[in-house]
Every structure is written in C-alpha cells, then in structure tokens.
A and B are shown apart, each in its own frame.
Chain A
C-alpha cells in the first residue's frame, strides 16, 4: 500500500547513482524484495513508471527477485525457512522466530549507459 513512497526512495537513489556514474539513461533496476513486506511489485511498477516519466529512467524495467521468509528459532536455535500461515520454525514448529529474510527491500544493481 505504500508503493509510491518506496518508488520515490528508489528514484532518489537511482538519481544519485546516475549522477556519480555519469549515466545518461537508466534501462533496468534489479530489486530484492521480501514476500512478507506489504508491497505489490505490480503497483510498484505502476508508481515507478509515473515517477520516471520524462526522466533519464523513463521506460526502465524493474526486475524483482522475491525472497521467502526464513529465520532463526529462539527455541531450538536452528535457521530454517518459515512455515506459513503462522511463520513458524520448520524444525520444531515454534512461533518464536527472528526473521532473517522475507522483509527486505534492496536495490541490487542499476543498468544504464
């Protein structure tokens, strides 16, 4: 639901990178996204297209790599993928877990020239 603010932050980072690396155009961005984040890639693309219209990143593609949830169990100490729907430890079933992946939103790389 907050894709617009994320697209704006993505755009400000893209502008910085384009400036320091002298890019005239940006054609693609690779994003790592956790599937537990309340963010829809489809909506993000929509916001990205609106924000970058008429800029050096107009028409650029967003590529997503979606990461499922994993975490470290506070009860058995194992690091496992987390089981839905309760996001519990796969090894012992405990709900007491510290998330390692599934909530991230990283800009991995930018392609341009």
Chain B
C-alpha cells in the first residue's frame, strides 16, 4: 500500500477563475456585484425598481442565474438592459467559470455596473467567489427574523443587506429593527437598507449606495 501526499485545494479552480474575473472587471472599470437571497426575496424586483428609479445615467448589464426558465431575464430585458441567462439545470449556485463564459455575451465596454443575480439560495452561493467586488444579500420580512442566524455566512461576507417588503411589516410578526441588529451583530461592516419593491420606499438610498461604490 502506498500513501501519496497530494495536498491539493479542491476549491482552487473556482478561486483562480474568480480572480481572473476580478482582474477583468478592474481593467474595464466595472463594478460587479453578486446579488444573493432566498427564492422570492425580491432580487429581480429590486433590479426592476432600480432601473425604474432614474438610474438612466448608469449603464447596467445583468447575468441571471436560475435552475431553469428565463423568466427573470425577460423581466430585465423590458428595461433595455443587456442580460444573459444562465440555467444551472439543478445546480444550487453560480460559479466563477459560468460567470466568465457569460461575460463574453455582454457589451461590457459600455457597462458601469454588472449585476450577477445568483440562484435563489441562502446556503451554497456563499461558498463561491465569482470575482465580484461586493456581495449584496436581499432578505424579505416575510422570511422571518431568524434567517440571519440560520444562514450566517451569507450575511457574514456580504457588503450590503437589503431588507425588502417592508410594506408588509404590519402583517408579519417580525421587527425590522431586530433583523437589522442581528445583521450588524454578525457583520459590523454591513450596510443595511430597508426597502419596498412594491411602493418604491428606500430604493433611492440603495441607489445612492450603489453610485458611491463606482
């Protein structure tokens, strides 16, 4: 019996490709954000509201990640924003290689902000660096107060947390302030916004944050 020392980082392939994507974004002067959150938390709705809220001077491009269907890409296309749909066919997250391939299909010479909307999932996307400069996690009040402690890594490594559906607060047994306190306890550097993609409340503050990151 032979014992062969290997010591190989099995995750290094993704990390190397993510670093390549990051260099590419830096050279092109593109702000790349990885938009994550549960299914139905309002990731695509946030993008729709962002495009509506007078973001006309910002040139967006979007990569949409989904298990199946191109429903989200169709919603983005209505705003004239270039979009590529990635279907993971059951895969629970996007990886750096999928993003790298999708980049070839976007007019990135004319893009200020690239939004990579990840597969709706609070677990696996946290493990996969895509080469983004910021991670944004969308959480909705209907998901309950305990999601941050249940899925800590999603919030620990995020730069910004957006609490969506605040118009529903009177009907949910949750406190937006308690959610915010827990989020900041797990990640002191997190920028936290409360928005409603239904009424548009808070969207401008989030847009200001995005502009400031350019």
Determine the chain B residues whose CB is within 8 A of the CB of A17 once the complex forms: 4, 6
Q: Quick check: is A95 within 8 A (CB to CB) of the other chain?
A: yes
Q: Is the CB of B126 within 8 A of A112?
A: no
Determine the chain B residues whose CB is within 8 A of the CB of A85 once the complex forms: 149, 152
Q: Quick check: is A9 within 8 A (CB to CB) of the other chain?
A: yes
Chain A 73-113 near chain B by CB (<8 Å), digits 1 or 0? 00000000000011100000011100000011111111111
Given the known interface contacts A111-B1, A113-B1, the answer about A38 and B124 at a Cβ–Cβ threshold of 8 Å is: yes
Task: Give CA–CA (A10, B153) in the complex, Å.
Answer: 24
Given the known interface contacts A105-B9, A106-B10, the answer about A38 and B127 at a Cβ–Cβ threshold of 8 Å is: yes
For A112, give the chain B residue with the smallest CB separation. B2
Task: Give CA–CA (A110, B152) in the complex, Å.
Answer: 33
Q: Is the CB of A1 within 8 A of B123?
A: yes
| Count of B interface residues, CB-CB < 8 Å | 29
For A33, give the chain B residue with the smallest CB separation. B10
Q: Quick check: is A55 within 8 A (CB to CB) of the other chain?
A: no
Chain A 11-50 near chain B by CB (<8 Å), digits 1 or 0? 0010001000101000100000000111100000000000
Q: Is the CB of A95 within 8 A of B188?
A: yes
Q: Is the CB of A109 within 8 A of B1?
A: no
Q: Is the CB of B10 within 8 A of A87?
A: no
Given the known interface contacts A38-B126, A86-B185, A96-B188, the answer about A13 and B2 at a Cβ–Cβ threshold of 8 Å is: no
The one of B4, B124, B149, B186 in contact with A110, judged by C-beta atoms closer than 8 angstroms, is B4
For A74, give the chain B residue with the smallest CB separation. B189
Given the known interface contacts A38-B124, A103-B127, A106-B10, the answer about A2 and B186 at a Cβ–Cβ threshold of 8 Å is: no
For B11, give the chain A residue with the smallest CB separation. A105
Q: Quick check: is B135 within 8 A (CB to CB) of the other chain?
A: no
Scan residues 1-52 of chain B and give those whose CB is less than 8 A from a CB of chain A: 1-11, 13
Task: Give CA–CA (A30, B104) in the complex, Å.
Answer: 38
Scan residues 92-124 of chain B and give those whose CB is less than 8 A from a CB of chain A: 92-93, 121, 123-124
Determine the chain B residues whose CB is within 8 A of the CB of A112 once the complex forms: 1-2, 4
Determine the chain A residues whose CB is within 8 A of the CB of B7 once the complex forms: 106-109
Q: Is the CB of B2 within 8 A of A106?
A: no
Given the known interface contacts A1-B92, A85-B152, A106-B9, the answer about A37 and B2 at a Cβ–Cβ threshold of 8 Å is: no
Q: Is the CB of A95 within 8 A of B127?
A: no
Least CB distance from A59 to B in Å reads 14
Least CB distance from A10 to B in Å reads 6
Q: Quick check: is B144 within 8 A (CB to CB) of the other chain?
A: no
Determine the chain B residues whose CB is within 8 A of the CB of A87 once the complex forms: 152, 156, 186
The 4 closest A-B pairs by CB, nearest first: A1-B92, A38-B123, A105-B10, A107-B8
List A residues at the B interface (Cβ < 8 Å): 1-2, 5-6, 9-10, 13, 17, 21, 23, 27, 36-39, 85-87, 94-96, 103-113
List B residues at the A interface (Cβ < 8 Å): 1-11, 13, 91-93, 121, 123-124, 126-127, 149, 152-153, 156, 185-189
